[in-house]
């Protein structure tokens, strides 16, 4: 059963697939950086940090396929490739920002719960 769609399992599958795409670590980081405006590949990679070139390429390709990102090539030597959020991608910024605000507001509670859990685990509870 899927909350909000109790009779329609195809909606649950659609929701799960999309949440897997937009909820992964690298997608959130790419959307965050592109939220400031178009960015070239290497600048995007530097802004994100630990992401490999292959993972960034895969993430961008998936985001482009799903309609969140556009890829523009300027025919120079070497060609310059720039990525930008589409209107759909920009609309994803709102829930991403809301999740970031929620995380900051609840980080101490989460850390306290983790410490409590770790203490119970060490105590054998």
| Cα→Cα distances 52→56, 64, 93, Å | 6, 18, 23
The C-alpha R_g of the chain, in whole angstroms, comes to: 19
Residues 6+ apart with CB under 8 A from 88: 67, 68
Backbone angles phi, psi at 15, to 5 degrees: -65, -45
CB 28 within 8 A of CB 86: no
With residue 82 as reference, give the H or E element that holds it. strand 80-85
Q: What is the pLDDT along the chain (125 residues), one digit of tens a residue?
A: 566 665 667 788 888 888 888 888 899 999 999 999 999 999 999 999 899 999 999 999 999 999 999 999 999 998 899 999 999 999 999 998 998 899 999 999 999 999 999 988 776 65
Provide the whole-model pTM.
Answer: 0.79
Per-domain residue ranges of the chain: 9-122
Q: What CATH number does the domain located at 9-122 have? A: 1.10.10.10
């Amino acid at each position: 059963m899927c909350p909000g769609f109790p009779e329609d399992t195809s909606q649950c599958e659609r929701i799960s697939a999309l949440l897997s795409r937009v909820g992964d670590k690298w997608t959130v980081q790419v959307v965050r950086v592109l939220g400031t405006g178009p960015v070239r590949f290497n600048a995007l990679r530097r802004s994100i940090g630990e992401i490999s070139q292959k993972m960034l390429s895969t993430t961008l390709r998936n985001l482009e396929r799903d309609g969140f990102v556009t890829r523009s090539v300027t025919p120079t030597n070497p060609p310059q490739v720039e990525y930008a959020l589409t209107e759909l991608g920009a609309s994803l910024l709102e829930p991403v920002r809301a999740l970031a605000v929620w995380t900051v507001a609840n980080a101490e509670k989460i850390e306290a719960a983790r410490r409590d859990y770790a203490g119970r685990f060490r105590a054998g509870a």
